Amino acid sequence: MSRDMKKLTGLVAATFTPLTTDGAINLSVIGSYIDYLTEKQSVKKVFVNGTTGEACSFTVDERKRLAAEWCLQGKGKLEQVIVHVGCMSIKDTQELAQHASSIGADGIAVISPSYFKPTNADALRMFLKEVGASAPDLPLYYYHIPSMTGVALEVADVLNGIEKMIPSFKGVKYSGTDLRDLGQCVCYSQSHNWSVLYGVDEQLLGALVLGVHGAVGSTYNYLGCKMKQMLSAFDEGNMTQARDIQFKCMDVITFAKNLGFDVAVNKQVMSELSGLALGPPRLPMLPCPISKAQTIAQKIKDSFCLT
């Protein structure tokens, strides 16, 4: 199989998972979701079944069906579909990795197991190696998100020598705030032509200046156009404009956090802003009151002059 391993760069939307009102996955929304992203937000890359997608709350079978639908519906519209396959169990992770390969995904991403946490970089590399070996033709990205996993191993330590263990290793989705570690990842990745994608939307600018190659995040679902302007401003050396956009993003995130902002709330905000019927979250998350989502959505519209 000749897969086009094109480097992952730019903005990538971490997609929400549409559910029906009674809590089943709702594949029927995915087509219009893709249209919304590509047409309204100019975002053509997606990160499916990640934290934003509540993947850990779904079964292996549900995750397969979701991934398959995104790949199928995205054909000809999306440039890249990265499927997150991380599970607590390595066997489940491997099964999802193989499945991602079979459906034509453009890459897989893997979090560290978080119930049993790897005690050192070696243990995590071994885990990633076994996952990579089960889908050797797919670019593999390590997905670092210590706020969720509690796994705080320095990623630079994990990367060190990983190219010898995992030929398909292609980079990191870095959703942490340790810029020293991030910078060293960027530095190390240069000689391997890997991608370092940043995952904390409200402080993306601080990562851009360190040379990250793109960003994966939930707010790019509804602020894709605006954040692309930030990337352009930065590239053109217009720091004042880039900063202005980033400050607005910080402001709305802070506003939302002060009201209580989890994936369930974020999903409802997306429903409000996009018009897509994404439905409720799955337990243990509780549904977000509509009025709260509307308040946050309005704040976003006002801050960014959305219509």
CA distance 150 to 112: 9
Q: Which of 22, 164, 237, 291 binds its own copies (CB under 8 A)?
A: 237
The interface with its own copies within residues 13-42 (CB under 8 A) comprises: none
Q: Which of 72, 178, 228, 259 binds its own copies (CB under 8 A)?
A: 178
Catalytic residue among 44, 45, 64, 173: 173
Instruction: Determine if residue 263 is labeled as part of a ligand binding site.
Output: no
- Residues touching its own copies: how many (CB under 8 A)? 68
Residue 173 falls in the annotated catalytic set: yes
Q: Which amino acid, residue 249?
A: C
Residue 143 falls in the annotated catalytic set: yes
Q: Which of 7, 40, 65, 117 binds its own copies (CB under 8 A)?
A: 117
CA distance 110 to 113: 9
Q: Determine which helix (DSSP H) or strand (DSSP E) holds 127, and give its type and residue range.
A: helix 121-133
Six-digit token string for 260: 């209580």
Cβ 63 vs Cβ 232: under 8 Å:
no
Integer angstrom CA distances of residue 214 from 157, 172, 175, 184, 223: 21, 10, 12, 16, 15
**Phi, psi (degrees; rounded to nearest 5) at 237:** 80, 10
Beta pairing partners, 174? 144, 198
Stretch that binds its own copies, among 9-17, 135-143, 219-227, 234-242 (CB under 8 A): 234-242
Stretch that binds its own copies, among 11-19, 40-48, 149-157, 270-278 (CB under 8 A): 149-157
Beta pairing partners, 11? 215
The residues of the shown chain that bind its own copies, judged by CB under 8 A, are 51, 54, 56-60, 62, 87-92, 112-119, 122-124, 126-127, 130, 148-150, 156, 177-180, 183-184, 186-187, 202-203, 205-211, 234, 237, 239, 242-243, 246-247, 250-251, 253-254, 260, 262-263, 282-286
Q: Which residues are annotated as a binding site?
A: 52, 216
